[in-house]
Amino acid sequence: MAPVIKLNSGYDMPQVGFGLWKVDNAVASDVVYNAIKAGYRLFDGACDYGNEVECGQGVARAISEGIVKREDLFIVSKLWNTFHDAERVEPIVKKQLADWGIEYFDLYLIHFPVALEWVDPAVRYPPGWHYDGKEEIRPSKATIQETWTALESLVSKGLSKSIGISNFQAQLIYDLLRYAKIRPATLQVEHHPYLVQQELINLAKREGIAVTAYSSFGPASFKEFNMKHADALAPLIEDETIKKIAAKHNRPASQVLLRWATQRGLAIIPKSTRPQIMAENFQSIDFDLSEEDIATISAFDRGIRFNQPSNYFPTELLWIFG
C-alpha cells in the first residue's frame, strides 16, 4: 500500500500518483486503466491536458471490472486560466466532471495564477493561452480572491472534496491566506534537483499545505519545446553523480530522483505509458536514500524553471512574467 499525506482538509492523498500531462488521447484510456492495475490511485489531470474524457473512460473500465471503486481513487483536476471569473468556475467544473464521468473531484486546483478572458468551450476546448487560438492573449480582470472564493463554493456543493493551488509563489500564497476561508490543501509546483525551491517548501510546511512535485526528471519533460536552457542541461537520469547513487542502492536513476522528493515529504506524479516504468516509478517509495545522498542531490540546485509560460511564448506573455 502506497503511503499517504494527510491534507489539512482531513482527507488522505496518496504520496505517489500518476501525472496525465502529455498523455496522448489515443492511448489515455488504456494508460489510466493499466496504471490502476499497477497500483496507482491518484491521477493528476487538468482541463488544459485535453484528455479528461479518455482518462475517465479508463477509470470507468477499471471500476466496471471491479478492480477499484470510485472511493478508492483520488482524482485531481485544474481550473484553466480562461475560467477564473467567478461565474465561470462552477460550469466548467461540472463539464470536467462530466468528461471524467464522476460526481466529484478529490482535489481541484487553480492551474496558474493567471486570469485570461473567457473562451466559450463550444468555440474551442481546451482553450489554451490564446483568445483567438493563434496569437492574441487577453487578460481577464478576475482577482485570485474572486477565483478562490468560487473554488471554496465547490467544497460546500460537493463538487470537490479539497481545493488547492498550482504554480504559485510565496507572495501570492501569503496574500491568499489572508482572505481564504478554506486554506489550500496542496501546492503543486515544478520540482527537481535543478529547481529545489526549499524556501517555498518550508513556507508550505509551516502553513500546513502539502506539496506535490511535478517534472521530477527536470529537463526531460521539456526537450520537445526547444527551450535553450532545457537542451543545454544534461538529463538528470544520465548524470554521473545520480547514476553512482543509483548503483549504490541497486536502483534505476529515475527511482533515486523520485525518492529524493518523497523522502523530503513531497508527493510525486510521474507518468509513463510503459508498464515496466509505471511499476518502477510506483515502487520508488520502498527504499531509503541516506542524508548524504539527499544533500548531494539537493546541491544540484540552480534555480532553473522550465514550466514557465514565458518560456513557450516569450513575447506575448511579458506582461505576465516579464
Q: Give the mean pLDDT of the chain.
A: 94
**Closest to 167 in 3D by CA, of 184, 137, 188:** 188
125 tagged catalytic: no
Q: Is the pLDDT of residue 318 over 60?
A: no
Which residues contact residue 274 at a Cβ distance below 8 angstroms, ignoring those fewer than 6 apart? Answer: none
Specify the pLDDT at position 322. 45
In this predicted structure, what is the pLDDT of residue 221?
Answer: 77
The pLDDT value recorded for residue 146 is 98
For residue 294, is pLDDT > 50?
Answer: yes
- Torsion angle (degrees, nearest 10) of CA 91, 57, 266, 169: -30
**What's the gap between Cα 223 and its chain centre?**
19
Residue 309 pLDDT greater than 80, yes or no? no
| pLDDT tens-digit map of 68-110 | 999 999 999 999 999 999 999 999 999 999 999 999 999 999 9
Q: Judge contact between 281 and 16, C-beta under 8 A.
A: yes
Do residues 29 and 71 make contact, with C-beta atoms less than 8 angstroms apart? Answer: no
Query: Could you tell me the end-to-end alpha-carbon distance of the chain, in angstroms, rounded to an integer?
Result: 44
Q: Which percentage of the chain shows pLDDT scores above 70?
A: 93
Alpha helices for the chain (secondary structure H): 25-37, 52-64, 86-100, 144-156, 170-179, 198-206, 228-232, 240-249, 253-263, 275-282, 291-298, 309-312, 318-321
Mean pLDDT of 223-230: 68
pLDDT exceeds cutoff 80 at 311? no
Is the alpha carbon torsion for 176, 108, 214, 15 positive or negative?
positive
**130 annotated to bind ligand:** no
- Residue 175: pLDDT band (50, 70, 90) is very high
Band (312; pLDDT cuts 50, 70, 90) = low
The pTM of this model reads 0.95
Under 8 Å CB-to-CB from 132, ≥6 apart: which residues? none
Confidence of residue 315 (pLDDT cuts 50, 70, 90): low
- Residue 313 has a pLDDT of 64
Mean pLDDT of the 114-141 span: 96
Catalytic pick from 11, 33, 40, 49? 49
Residues 11 and 76: their CA atoms lie apart, in Å, by 13
Q: Write down all domains in the chain, each with its CATH number in brackets.
A: 10-184 (3.20.20.100)
Quick: pLDDT tens for 243-288. 999 999 999 999 999 999 999 999 999 999 999 999 999 999 999 9
Task: Band the pLDDT of 308: cuts 50, 70, 90.
Answer: confident
Which residue's C-alpha cell is 485544474? 78
Helices (runs of H) and strands (runs of E) counted in the chain: 13, 10
DSSP 197: -
Sequence-ordered list of residues with C-beta below 8 angstroms from that of 211, at least 6 positions apart, any chain: 186, 187, 188, 189, 191, 201, 204, 205, 265, 266, 267
Each residue of 21-60: pLDDT tens digit?
Answer: 999 999 999 999 999 999 999 999 999 999 999 999 999 9
